[in-house]
Amino acid sequence: MLNMDSEAIPNRRSRRQMRLAPPRAEMPARVIHLKERNLVMLKQDLIMRNPLRLLGHESDDIIGPGRFGAVLARAGVGKTALVIQIALNSMLRDKNVLHISLNEPVGKVNLWYQEVLGRLAQMYQVTPLDQLWDTIVPHRFIMTFQVEGFSAPKLDERLTDLTSQGIFSPDMIIIDGQPFDQDVSEVLGELKMLAERLGLPIWFTVTTHRHEAPAPDGLPIQLSPVQSLFDVAIALQSVENTIHIKALKGCSQAETQPQLILDPATMLVVDSVKQ
Amino acid sequence: MTTNTQNVRNIGISAHIDSGKTTLTERVLFYTQRIHAIHDVKGKDGVGATMDSMELEKERGITIASAATFCQWKGYQINIIDTPGHVDFTIEVERSLRVLDGAILVLCSVGGVQSQSITVDQQMKRYNVPCIAFINKCDRNGASPFRVIEQLKSKLGHNAVAMQIPIGLEVDHQGVVDLVRMKAFYFTGENGEVIEEKEIPDNMRKMAEQKREELIDSATLFSDELTEAVLEEKPVSEELLKSAIRAGALKRQLTPVFMGSAYKNKGVQLLLDGVTELLPSPAEVVNTALDLSADEAPVTLKTETNLPTVALAFKLEDGQYGQLTYIRVYQGKMAKGDTVINVRTGKKIKIGRLVRMHADQMEDITELPAGFIGAMFGVDCASGDTFVSPGVTLTMTSMYVPEPVISLAIAPKDHKAEINMSKALNRFSKEDPTFKTYVNDETNETIISGMGELHLEVYIERMRREYNAEVTTGAPQVAYRETITQKAEYDYIHKKQTGGSGQYGRVAGFIEPCEEDFIFDSQVTGGTVPTQFIPACEKGFKNCMAKGPKLEFPLTNIRVVLNDGASHSVDSSDMAFQAAARGAFLQAFPKAKPVIQEPIMKVVVETPTEFQGPAMGSLNQRRGIILGAQDEGVMCSIEAQVPLAEMFGYSTVLRSLTQGKAQFTMEFAAYKQVPQAIAEEIAKKAAEKKQKVA
């Protein structure tokens, strides 16, 4: 036994050395401190394993600067959980996310993040959650508005407040709770201009209704007047006991790719293959 | 004096600062004929409200200490505890909530649910205090009671439902429509003491009916009888509806909402009716004590006078006749001449004089039965002490007391002040468990510590006014801590053989981070460290926790494992092993990557929207992480986490940034690691201080 071990160790070590030292002459090596190492690896790990990246075909953010994305579902299916995972995915890559909620108070939105991150960490067995949380929280800013008080000029004013003082400059915006039942073309038009000017992608959540038949292109009827503004639309559909994530528009979900689903127990995105 | 607890209500009035709770209390006392003239908090007559008996309170317009007062309304006896509204005094609020059976949550119809209301509501939840809400200031510009009800639902998660609707708002506010009785009430007379009951105005009938539907709908959850009546479309009687609402309110699953304006004398009497009809009597509340003889097992107390006495001292005051101790009797009774035992000290106490308080006047009584609140004279005790009949070993649960986060060095100006200062400090630390005082051994300075800057400021002010003690203060100090971030091993031999008997002890093991403050784990096998010396090792390690070797901050979250060692048959002693432990700790600690932690406060700034930018900027400058901004029409609130060290003098800064229109509250959130640059600065300062002392 002893002999085998002593032989095995140098072998293993040399193999690992070979793997760890690829010929990278062009790039200066980045020093990762021992204390940091865990956290950096952990973040990488969470990003790599995140099935969400399957939705993004070109960029990591699924949608590019100035573009709109929509998450569609009926009430209570998990829109917020999904957009928060999209947000966390960006935050883990050190991108700033501005989360705008039109119906929940700040504390509750914050709880959503803690909960989703906690479950993600649990799923991937990441242990020092506090540290991870502390490193990603500065990348997030929550704003809440009353639905009637929300408008693009107001958002612009707040954003200028934040950016001019160097408090926070977002790389991505999430707008949760914008009602699409009324006429939204004006608000969205203004937001589109703002998004293009600032070069920010914006995600919306859209509540669909059971009693309304979708338009011919598969998108819900209330999105029809403004559908040209959206580059990506992802729908959550509950089929039997699972919630399928279906790209209605914009995402190149290849046939060969596994189907993505939202686990109804944890509200996390998973590959159906893993199930 | 009756002993029937059915007609007793022990209630508190708690709210955000400036929501008008002291004004409301004042009106309640006026209508219950306890006082015969109304003086407002910041009134022109300069008398000040009756409840605010401390001079300082009158000057600042805030209520500091909770005065207990007694009044009668329609045959009910009501004890009112007026609680302070500022977050720096939350221990006072918590202590009063402990003795309450119900509470009125006062909200401003303009400001709505503000940060402090949220804190107070959480405290009520912790002590499971049923409450009714009163939306005050309906006469103010921008009053919107239904928006406040929405906020009660969304922000506090209350199942809030309107019991009334206002007749006219802002300047037109005249009275309210009672949705249970379906009548309109107007308040006339010089001080609103004349109540006129009229039919509901025609233009309001439709709204009243709709709101009554909502009320009945929410109440059906708590009464099958009511549900049946509604389903069979029978008329719903007043009693039936009230009993259903009461059932919901007692379970804290329904919050009935009253409205009016205390300042303009509208709706207060109906609120009093609500208190008597909807809040519980002492007998309806479950109170538990801990049995000391049975390993602190919880025991349910019964509100009966013939059982052994259990009473709690919840507040102390220094009166002209000596110490006044406010007590609540939970079981049995306290009578003049009785002997009771203070469970904490084990001392016997004879009750000399019992009184019932009304702010700063009092009324002598002979006995205080279970469920009642009163005060006694000439008893030496601390607040939070339990009094019991001889032979009983029950204690009321030890109240949750947060650790102080800020400290300040004080020095008396002259010799006279020195004596008075020590008197004052002695009194304050007895009155308020969050206020601590000690003398630093090295610098010989007197240090006071508490929950915030204002908390300490008020005590210094009180020292000056009440005790005539002038003191000078040093710069406030933040309570830093040190902890370790990784495992480190130690192996240390303490050996000394110079003169006298020798000392020998060897200890080996490791230290590592953990969740608790300090754990000592002995895993010694084979008696390498003899059993009798293991406690000495523990003591040695534990002594090291009080002060870090380099920066001298207290150490926390360290687990010490001892797994090997050696001893000498003659030279080993307790002392030797203690010294060995100390040496071992000093050896391992630097290797365990120690870090400094600082208290981080949760800060909520409420500001008019136009000042949102500057307010956020000011938080950002203070190393704050802004969690979010909440837009609520005219006002917005900003939530942030800011290190306490950066918050000194913030109130002045915020005021000047916002033309005095913003306010902020803060409370302790967590200890977090200090950034590297700041840590170096702290280390530098600590080194300087050390040099100075040497």
**Mean pLDDT, rounded, of chain B:** 80
Number of H helices, E strands in chain B: 16, 38
Residue A51 pLDDT level (bands cut at 50, 70, 90): low
Strand positions, DSSP E, B541-593: 558-566
Q: Is the pLDDT of residue B489 over 80?
A: yes
Burial of B63 (0-12, 13-18, 19+ CB in 10 A): buried
Q: Is the pLDDT of residue A2 over 70?
A: no
Instruction: Inform me whether the C-beta atom of residue B409 falls under 8 Å from chain A C-beta atoms.
Output: no
| Other Cβ atoms within 10 Å of A25 Cβ, number | 5
Residue A248 pLDDT level (bands cut at 50, 70, 90): confident
Identify the weakest region by mean pLDDT among A44-58, B220-234, B350-364, B365-379.
A44-58
Task: Give the torsion sign (CA, B567, B570, B573, B576).
Answer: negative
Residues within 8 A of B (CB atoms), A 199-228 only: none
Residue B51 C-alpha from the chain's centroid? 19
Q: CA-to-CA distance for B365 and B351, rounded, in angstroms?
A: 12
Per-residue pLDDT at B66: 45
B650-673 average pLDDT score: 80
Burial of B598 (0-12, 13-18, 19+ CB in 10 A): buried
Per-residue pLDDT at B382: 77
Beta-carbon separation of B631 and A110 below 8 A: no
Q: Is the pLDDT of residue B35 over 70?
A: no
Identify the weakest region by mean pLDDT among B140-154, B259-273, B325-339, B354-368.
B354-368
Helices A152-164, B612-621: axis angle to 10 degrees equals 30
Instruction: Inform me whether the C-beta atom of residue A134 falls under 8 Å from chain B C-beta atoms.
Output: yes
Q: CA-to-CA distance for B669 and B126, rounded, in angstroms?
A: 17
Per-residue pLDDT at A174: 92
Q: Which residues of B111-137 are buried (b: 16+ CB within 10 A; e: fewer)?
A: bbbbbbbbbbbebbeeeebbbbbbbbb
Q: What is the pLDDT of residues A254-265, one digit of tens each?
A: 544 557 777 777
Residues within 8 A of A (CB atoms), B 672-691 only: 672
Helices B534-545, B574-588: axis angle to 10 degrees equals 50
Q: What is the pLDDT of residues B442-464, one digit of tens each?
A: 667 888 888 777 778 878 888 88
- Give strand pairing partners of B566: B506
CB A232 within 8 A of CB A249: yes
Q: What is the pLDDT of residues B250-283, one digit of tens each?
A: 888 888 999 888 888 888 888 888 888 888 888 8
CB A267 within 8 A of CB A116: yes
- Alpha-carbon dihedral angle through residues A161, A162, A167, A171, given to the nearest 10 degrees: -160
Closest C-alpha among B530, B529, B537, B528 to residue B578: B537
More confident residue, B30 or B598: B598
- Give strand pairing partners of B449: B407, B436
Please tell me which residue of chain B has the smallest CA distance to A101: B630
- Gap from B332 CA to chain A (nearest CA, Å): 44
Beta-carbon separation of B630 and A144 below 8 A: yes
B308-334 average pLDDT score: 81
Per-residue pLDDT at B34: 66
Instruction: Pull the structure tokens for residue B189.
Output: 């007379």
More confident residue, B131 or B317: B131
B653-662 average pLDDT score: 79
Q: CA-to-CA distance for B678 and B694, rounded, in angstroms?
A: 24
B390-415 average pLDDT score: 75
Identify the CATH class of A64-271: alpha beta
| Domain residue ranges in chain A | 64-271
Per-residue pLDDT at A103: 78
Instruction: Inform me whether the C-beta atom of residue A167 falls under 8 Å from chain B C-beta atoms.
Output: yes
| Other Cβ atoms within 10 Å of A209 Cβ, number | 12
Q: CA-to-CA distance for B514 and B427, rounded, in angstroms?
A: 37
More confident residue, B293 or B522: B522
Residue B355 pLDDT level (bands cut at 50, 70, 90): confident
> CB neighbours of B111 closer than 8 A, spacing ≥ 6?
B16, B18, B19, B606, B635
Residue in B484, B620, B626 to test binding to A, most A beta-carbons within 10 Å: B626
- Give strand pairing partners of B388: B310, B341
Q: CA-to-CA distance for B627 and A107, rounded, in angstroms?
A: 9
Please tell me which residue of chain A has the smallest CA distance to B626: A141
Q: What is the pLDDT of residues B503-535, one digit of tens each?
A: 888 999 999 888 888 888 888 888 888 888 889
Interface predicted TM-score (ipTM) over 0.90? no
Q: Is the pLDDT of residue A60 over 70?
A: no
**Alpha helices in B553-632, H assignment, sequence order:** 574-588, 612-621
Burial of B429 (0-12, 13-18, 19+ CB in 10 A): middle
Residue in B630, B667, B673 to test binding to A, most A beta-carbons within 10 Å: B630
Q: What are the two backbone dihedrals, phi and then psi, of residue B545, each rounded to the nearest 5 degrees?
A: -70, -20
Beta-carbon separation of A105 and B627 below 8 A: no
Q: What are the two backbone dihedrals, phi and then psi, of residue B181, each rounded to the nearest 5 degrees?
A: -85, -15
> CB neighbours of A170 closer than 8 A, spacing ≥ 6?
A96, A97, A98, A141, A159, A200
Per-residue pLDDT at B138: 83
Residue B211 pLDDT level (bands cut at 50, 70, 90): confident
Closest C-alpha among B310, B314, B463, B459 to residue B382: B314
Per-residue pLDDT at B500: 74
Identify the weakest region by mean pLDDT among A26-30, A84-88, B26-30, B97-101.
A26-30
Per-residue pLDDT at A10: 44
Residue A98 pLDDT level (bands cut at 50, 70, 90): very high
Per-residue pLDDT at A97: 92
Per-residue pLDDT at A16: 44
Q: Is the pLDDT of residue A4 over 60?
A: no
Q: Which of A107, A137, A146 sits opposite B631 (nearest CB)?
A: A146
B493-509 average pLDDT score: 84
Helices A129-136, A79-92: axis angle to 10 degrees equals 80
Q: Which helix (H) or strand (E) holds B470?
A: none
| Other Cβ atoms within 10 Å of A28 Cβ, number | 7
Domains of chain B: 5-284 (3.40.50.300), 287-396 (2.40.30.10), 406-477 (3.30.70.870), 486-592 (3.30.230.10), 597-677 (3.30.70.240)
> CB neighbours of B578 closer than 8 A, spacing ≥ 6?
B536, B537, B539, B540, B543
Residue bearing tokens 């800064």: B653
Q: Which of A105, A165, A168 sits opposite B155 (nearest CB)?
A: A105
Per-residue pLDDT at B91: 62
Residue A3 pLDDT level (bands cut at 50, 70, 90): very low
Please tell me which residue of chain B has the smallest CA distance to A148: B633
Per-residue pLDDT at B89: 54
> CB neighbours of B605 closer than 8 A, spacing ≥ 6?
B615, B619, B637, B638, B640, B654, B662, B663, B664
Residues within 8 A of A (CB atoms), B 134-173 only: 154-155
Q: Is the pLDDT of residue B183 over 80?
A: yes
Q: Which helix (H) or strand (E) holds B202?
A: helix B202-219
Beta-carbon separation of A109 and B628 below 8 A: yes
Q: Is the pLDDT of residue B402 over 70?
A: no
Task: Give the torsion sign (CA, B375, B378, B381, B382).
Answer: positive
Q: What is the pLDDT of residues B42-89, one digit of tens each?
A: 554 544 555 555 554 544 444 434 457 788 888 888 888 766 555 455
- Give strand pairing partners of B221: none
Q: Which helix (H) or strand (E) holds A109?
A: helix A106-123
Q: CA-to-CA distance for B388 and B194, rounded, in angstroms?
A: 46
Residue A100 pLDDT level (bands cut at 50, 70, 90): very high
Please tell me which residue of chain A has the smallest CA distance to B623: A167
Closest C-alpha among B629, B671, B666 to residue B118: B666
Q: Is the pLDDT of residue B686 over 60?
A: yes
Instruction: Pull the structure tokens for residue B327.
Output: 């007590």
CB B289 within 8 A of CB B298: yes
